[in-house]
Structure 1
């Protein structure tokens, strides 16, 4: 069968292999036919050789962690043949740590977790794959063309879940959220903010293209100024760019008792002048919280599936700016600077 693979750590090793082995039964009882995989910045970095880890004893890693497939067989009865399904990316470590032991693998404490298409597990960019039932997330049939958005939506669902848990420390009735960055994570964060009936503000540097209209279609407000220039004191800030200046400005922007969630990952290697004392004073005197969030647990995948099923399907479809057939796989993994979400399509 066909599979899109790389040799981890080796730039320009992206290859379509036509005789990749069928998934081993040990991978899981549920056999799935691939429909599509989404492509994100993590994939670009792995293709560039910056990181990635093949399964034990293998030289190449199958890419793809934003999955969408259709069940071919499930002898466990968890799903039915024909059901849409996505695979949870992270699996618990073998020790396991205290969190992995209770299936909170997104909060792994010793770093020995594995991840499909990233770290130690074959990804979903292959024509067939297998899942264990607890890592198989069934999807509403209406999501047949956009279900690969579930993985980034699960990251956002976790962020909102943890924001709301932190909010329970006091009487807290948030009214507004500022989201920095209008990529897939930022736009999906805005979607979940609008579903919570908050006043949603999205900041991004793009002044043209589809992003402003996508934000406005949610009933949200689109901004292109700097964070410091915004006339806002949001109760919640979700930072999705990882840009150091934006991160630090966002940390200072929240209202008293506000919560700032950092989801963007900075590349590092850059220093900027910043008054750390002023930041400390503001966080302490205003009872603000800043925390980081990455990956997602099973409950977040389920919450994300509910959120996508409730969303306007035409809006979700608009997030996908390119659908690329498998034979043209290199195009799917090429950075264009104009994409919101590129998708590798296994049905073409």
Structure 2
């Protein structure tokens, strides 16, 4: 069968492998026919050779962690043939650490977890894959064209879950949310904020292209100014850029008892001036919280599936910039200037 693969650590080794082996039964009882995979910055970094790890005993890694498929067979009865399904990305470490032992693999403490299409496990960018019922998330049929958005939505579902848990430390009635960055994670974070009936502001550098309209279609306000030029202090900030200046400005901008959730991953290697004393003073005197969030456990995937099923399906479809057939895989992994989410289509 066909699979999109790379040699980890070797830049630009991306290829469409025509004779990739069928998924082994040990991978899981549920056999799935791939419909599509979403492509994100993680895939581009793996292709560049920045990181990535093939399964033990293999030289190549199958890409793809934003999955959407249709069940072919499930002898366990958890799902039925024809059901839409997404595969959870991370698997708990074999030790396991205290968190992985209770299925909180997103909070793994020792880093020995594995991830499909990223670290030690074949990904979902292949014509067929298998998954264990515990790691298979069934989807509403209305998500047939956008179900590959479940993985990035699970990331922001976790972020919102943790924001709300932190908020319950005291009387807390948030009204205003600032999302920095209008990529897929930022837009989905804004979607979940609007579903909470909050006043949502999204800040991004783009002045043209689809981002402003996508934000306004949610009923949110779009900004292109600097964070420090905003005329309000948000109760919640969801930072999705990883840009150091934006990260620090977001910490300063949050209002009293504000919560700043960092979801963007910085590349490092850049030094900027910082008045650490002033930042510390603001955080302490205003009882603010800054925390990082990445990945998601099954509960968050289920929350994400529910959120997507309630969302406007036309808006979700508008996040998909391009649907590229597998035969044109190289084009799918080449970023365009106005791309939001590019999808590799196994059905075309």
Task: Give the TM-score category using the shorter length.
Answer: over 0.9
1:222-233 residue pairs with structure 2 within 5 A? 222-233=222-233
C-alpha distance in 1, partners of 2:235/2:77?
A: 44
Instruction: Indicate whether 1:174 and 2:174 are aligned.
Output: yes
Aligned to 2:129, the other structure's residue is in SS state strand
1:278-317 residue pairs with structure 2 within 5 A? 278-317=278-317
C-alpha distance in 1, partners of 2:335/2:11?
A: 15
1:1-348 residue pairs with structure 2 within 5 A? 1-348=1-348
Q: Please report how far the alpha carbon of residue 238 of structure 1 lies from its aligned counterpart in structure 2 after TM superposition.
A: 0.3
TM-score normalised to structure 1 length = 1.00
Aligned to 1:172, the other structure's residue is in SS state coil
Deviations 1:86-129 (A, max 9, x none): 00000000000000000000000000000000000000000000
C-alpha distance in 1, partners of 2:26/2:317?
A: 35
Aligned to 1:295, the other structure's residue is in SS state coil
Answer whether contact 2:38 2:342 (CA < 8 A) is retained.
yes
Aligned to 1:5, the other structure's residue is in SS state strand
Q: Please report how far the alpha carbon of residue 149 of structure 1 lies from its aligned counterpart in structure 2 after TM superposition.
A: 0.2
TM-score normalised to structure 2 length = 1.00
Q: Please report how far the alpha carbon of residue 12 of structure 1 lies from its aligned counterpart in structure 2 after TM superposition.
A: 1.2
Q: Please report how far the alpha carbon of residue 197 of structure 1 lies from its aligned counterpart in structure 2 after TM superposition.
A: 0.0
Structure 2 unaligned spans of 5+: none
Q: Please report how far the alpha carbon of residue 42 of structure 1 lies from its aligned counterpart in structure 2 after TM superposition.
A: 0.1
Deviations 1:48-99 (A, max 9, x none): 0000000000000000000000000000000000000000000000000000
C-alpha distance in 1, partners of 2:21/2:205?
A: 44
C-alpha distance in 1, partners of 2:128/2:301?
A: 21
Runs in 1 of length 4+ with deviation above 6 angstroms? Answer: none
Aligned to 1:228, the other structure's residue is in SS state helix
Q: Please report how far the alpha carbon of residue 336 of structure 1 lies from its aligned counterpart in structure 2 after TM superposition.
A: 1.8
C-alpha distance in 2, partners of 1:238/1:113?
A: 26
Number of residue pairs aligned between Structure 1 and Structure 2: 348
C-alpha distance in 1, partners of 2:279/2:39?
A: 36
C-alpha distance in 2, partners of 1:268/1:225?
A: 24
C-alpha distance in 2, partners of 1:103/1:301?
A: 13
C-alpha distance in 1, partners of 2:59/2:96?
A: 26
Structure 1 unaligned spans of 5+: none
